[in-house]
Amino acid sequence: MSERLQPGDVAPAFTLPDADGNDVSLSDHKGRKVIVYFYPAALTPGCTKQACDFTDNLEVLASAGYDVIGISPDAPEKLAKFREKESLRVTLLADPDKKVTEAFGAYGEKKNYGKTYMGVIRSTVVVDEEGKVERALYNVRATGHVAKIIKDLDI
């Protein structure tokens, strides 16, 4: 199980391909706050709800100085399909080997219908302008999560 991040930790640096295959790095966002969220799989009901919520609130978040990046183990081609099908405007990144997901503490043991298995833990990490963790939320719910973040961040 990967180590969970705590407020004040330096956010792990990363460079991953986006839905178009272009590399995106956390350092590209230096000087802005970034909401990095991890979700199990594109084109599934919960993950679609969460991505649509972030897209619906993107202007509110952007005007408060936040960029939003969604990371999943899906291939860039699947992310492109997800983006087109749901008209998503958040940056979606592919982490097929789950190295970044693990570095952020968003991969580990999960339970579903009595079975225990390893997988992506729905998580959100808020990174400040200096690249430090402001908040790290694990095992979040897909529904209502974005509204909670907006409230918690006083946006």
Domain 9-153: top CATH class = alpha beta
Where do the structural domains in the chain lie, given as residue ranges?
A: 9-153
User: If we measure between CA atoms, which residue out of 85, 66, 62, 82 comes closest to residue 19?
Assistant: 82
> Quick one: pLDDT at residue 49?
95
Q: Residues in the chain, how many?
A: 155
Please spell the DSSP secondary structure of the chain, one letter per residue. Answer: -PPPP-TTSBPPP-EEEBTTS-EEEGGGGTTSEEEEEE-S-TTSHHHHHHHHHHHHTHHHHHHTTEEEEEEESS-HHHHHHHHHHHT--SEEEE-TT-HHHHHTT-EEEEEETTEEEEEE--EEEEE-TTSBEEEEEES--STTHHHHHHHHTT-
**pTM value?**
0.95
Distance CA 131, CA 14 (A): 11
> Quick one: pLDDT at residue 1?
53
Distance CA 62, CA 111 (A): 34
> Quick one: pLDDT at residue 2?
64
> Quick one: pLDDT at residue 112?
79
> Over its length of 155 residues, how does the chain's per-residue pLDDT go in tens digits?
568 999 999 999 999 999 999 999 999 999 999 999 999 999 999 999 999 999 999 999 999 999 999 999 999 999 999 999 999 999 999 999 999 999 999 999 888 788 999 999 999 999 999 999 999 999 999 999 999 999 999 99
Residues annotated catalytic, as ranges: 47
**Pairing verdict, β 123-127 and 133-138:** antiparallel
